[in-house]
Amino acid sequence: MNIRIAICDDEKAETAYLKSLVDRWAKNNNVVACVSIFESAESFLFSYADDKAFDILLLDIQMKEINGIELAKRIRAGTENGGFSNEALQIIFITGFPDFMAEGYDVSALHYLMKPICEEKLYTVLDKAYKNIKSNERTILLNIGSECARIPVSHIIYAEAFAHYVTITTTLEKYVVKQPIGNIEKMLGDGFVRCHRSYIVGLKYVKRITKTDLVLDDGTTIPLSRRAYNDVNQAFIKFYKGA
């Protein structure tokens, strides 16, 4: 399995050391890890605007301008992602001070690592992050034109049918496939609802439900048919209660 890891820290010596440890962890675990280095939150955000496919973010808290806490809040709030929160990204804070630990709960940080970094502790946290990534990695394969695309299910916001085609909107881009929406519904499975004959929606991206619409995190409204209302409402409640 290939994973992408970002290290965001404005101390060059620290990033070099962290990268050496990450490379060693990957080699020891037979993981193909592509590691990218960012010397500021701004440089990470510039890259993230076009490429959000990172799996793990090792994030220093004390940085100039935008600090690590603020960067994490932007990612979780979807500020840099069209209003859609990136909850799948495994954020690991790195800090020389314990004062910020309480704020980590607000952004669902996986862990805090205190400087100087202990190799064994880093490896333990990376093991946990990798396990989470694998459990979230369910994908579907779709034929798009002459190509076959692998799309992570966690990235799919909704699917919309037009005649013989279905447009699948994800957090990164849109895909158009030629097949019945019923086939897409079977592929997606749990975590998605058929709220209308032409729409399937990922419950994790639903902000609220009205009698006639599903309102998504970015304000997009998806029509909700009258006869589907009760089933969709129950699915929404069950999904967020974890029942």
Say how far apart CA 243 and CA 241 lie, in whole Å.
5
Give the tokens for residue 82. Answer: 């069209």
Say how far apart CA 240 and CA 193 lie, in whole Å.
14
Looking at residue 85, what is its pLDDT? 58
Looking at residue 223, what is its pLDDT? 97
Give the tokens for residue 49. Answer: 């605007």
| Pick from 65, 71, 21: nearest CA to 45 | 71
Looking at residue 239, what is its pLDDT? 82
Looking at residue 243, what is its pLDDT? 44
Report pLDDT digits (tens) over 110-159: 899 998 999 999 999 999 999 888 777 677 878 887 777 778 888 899 99
What stretch of H or E contains 201? strand 199-202
Looking at residue 184, what is its pLDDT? 93
Q: Is residue 91 within 8 Å of 109, Cβ to Cβ?
A: yes
Q: Structure pTM?
A: 0.61
Which residue type is seen at 8?
A: C
Q: Is residue 12 within 8 Å of 43, Cβ to Cβ?
A: no
Q: Is residue 61 within 8 Å of 69, Cβ to Cβ?
A: yes
In this prediction, the residues of the chain whose per-residue pLDDT falls under 50 are: 243
Looking at residue 13, what is its pLDDT? 93
